[in-house]
Amino acid sequence: MKKPFLLACSLLALAFAGQAQTAAPVPPATPQYRPGYHFTPAAHWMNDPNGMVYYQGTYHLFFQYYPDGMVWGPMHWGHVTSTDLVSWKEQPIALYPDKLGMIFSGSAVIDVNNTAGFGKDAMVAIFTHHNPEEEKKGSNKHEYQSLAYSLDAGKTWKKYEGNPVLPNPGIADFRDPKVSWYEAGKKWVMTLATKDRITFYSSPNLKNWTKESEFGEKLGAHGGVWECPDLFPMTLNGKTHWVLIVNLNPGGPNGGSGTQYFMGNFNGKTFTPSSTDTKWASYGPDDYAGVTWNNTGNRRLFMGWMSNWTYANQVPTSPWRSGTTVARELALQQVGNQIYLTSQPVKETVKLFPSVTTFKDLTVNKTLDLTPKLKNVGDKFQLKLKAQQLASFSLVLSNAKGEEVIIGYDQPTNQYFVDRTKSGQLGFSDKFAGRHTAPRLSTSLQADVTLLVDATSVEVFADQGLTVMSELFFPTEPLSKLRLTADTSFLIQEITYAPLAPKAQ
């Protein structure tokens, strides 16, 4: 995918392509900002998750990577693996730029039936080549889709000699192929971002592609270019619904990058929405370009890039920039006559937090300081809150300097919120500070909220994952104090607190 400002991206790409660059000085290291359980590369720049595929007990996560700097540059595919979705091992870079261009976003599949002829069970990557020299000509044909394959479970890769397999018809934004096998039609289906809409293609062999249809020109949010789509079926009460994820930038619900989705039906050719309402997979500003793993059976697993193009190149971390959200399991839930996509931390996350402290029947009258009860709160933990009757409340993470992040629910507006206006370092971007909101979609009187706090981030999962928010923050010292506040007396049925296990850090 491109940077948020297309001109800036183009100029930068051309500069990198045309001559060697003098490496920018690396700022002082910030180990205090390194997450304990969200993936971050050891060094340098990363953005979109790519090529996510499960094979022989291993989850493969590829990602947009620039190995020569801490800001966006000529894209490669970085590579990490995991057997449990919570601990990741960095592997050698999988794909490097070549004469056809940089390696932009894409997906990977296991070609069980050897449809492409590379070999049975070949791991095949389908990605966008972005050609800066072609872009310079102004032909709008500088992005096209190509293949690479691995016959040793992702360890080494060979690019297909017939690349590109899907040339550009003259669309400036023609990228981010997400490919999956459509069993009913015995064919591969590609979901491709094309300017301000999605175009579906099909192929019997991953090499020859036929355009099937377009979707979304006048539906959904259109504040920016559509990017990083994903299409997959899910079941609710015995009925199959198709989910189409579409990332866009700008135009997110709280500014900058965002991830919307559509519910509907797909017949192998056309996606037909069942609702024209704009729905968001996440409302916080720091969850973008998220897609799902291929080849995971009945589980639908999702991961996003935990940043926002508005300030991603400026966040004060070193020697790396950016990371991912936690891996999430997706499901469907019906509220009224609407069907929503829900997401919650994968069940494997529980192994990170084995030591649990539980408090029952707590009453918050104005304020309740949990810090003395928990001895050492720390800045990497999971917290779950349950209430029989939801009312306005705030959870305040703070430090001795008065820096704070406030997470809560506002009953008059029926919104969850995260406020990072006093969260520490803010000067790197005038767009970073803010109080961000998300609607409460559940109609239940009861409530449950799960927080995952990890040094410089909080992820909020409310009402079984109906409302989700992801937020970054950069305090000058750890936010290791925790208190609850409420406008009126608020009865909490249960709070569980679990610090990150020392061996996981």
Say yes or no: 430 and 377 in one domain: yes
pTM of the predicted model, to two decimals? 0.95
pLDDT of residue 375: 83
Neighbours of 467 (CB within 10 A): 23
**What residue spans of 284-426 are helical by DSSP H?**
371-374
Distances (CA, A) of 334 to 272, 291, 464, 469: 19, 22, 12, 20
Rounded average pLDDT over 33-40? 98
Say yes or no: 391 and 486 in one domain: yes
Say yes or no: 442 and 334 in one domain: no
pLDDT of residue 6: 42
Question: Which residues are identified as catalytic?
Answer: 48
**What residue spans of 114-203 are helical by DSSP H?**
132-137
Rounded average pLDDT over 345-367? 96
- Residues 230-267 have pLDDT tens digits of 999 999 999 999 999 999 999 999 999 999 999 999 99
Residue 219 lies in a domain: yes
Token output for 252: 């997110």
Non-local CB neighbours of 502 within 8 Å, separated by 6+ positions: none
Say yes or no: 442 and 311 in one domain: no
Last residue of a domain, one of 345, 369, 399: 345
Phi first, then psi, for residue 375 (nearest 5°) are 65, -70
Residue 1 lies in a domain: no
Which domain covers residue 162, as residue numbers? 6-19+28-345
pLDDT of residue 9: 43
pLDDT at residue 392 is higher than 80: yes
- Residues 171-230 have pLDDT tens digits of 999 999 999 999 999 999 999 999 999 999 999 999 999 999 999 999 999 999 999 999
Say yes or no: 267 and 373 in one domain: no
Please name the residue that has the structure tokens 């493969």.
60
Say yes or no: 393 and 373 in one domain: yes
Phi first, then psi, for residue 366 (nearest 5°) are 70, -65
**What residue spans of 84-165 are helical by DSSP H?**
132-137
Say yes or no: 273 and 182 in one domain: yes
At 473, which CATH number? Answer: 2.60.120.560
Say yes or no: 368 and 480 in one domain: yes
Last residue of a domain, one of 345, 369, 402: 345
pLDDT band at 2 (very low <50, low <70, confident <90, very high): low
What integer best gives the mean pLDDT of the chain? 94
Count the domains in the chain: 2
Say yes or no: 485 and 378 in one domain: yes
Question: Pairing state of beta strands 44-55 and 58-66?
Answer: antiparallel
Say yes or no: 257 and 394 in one domain: no
Say yes or no: 136 and 268 in one domain: yes
Residue 492 lies in a domain: yes
Last residue of a domain, one of 345, 363, 398: 345
Question: Pairing state of beta strands 320-321 and 44-55?
Answer: parallel
Q: How far apart are CA 337 and CA 342, in angstroms?
A: 16
At 61, which CATH number? Answer: 2.115.10.20
Say yes or no: 341 and 361 in one domain: no
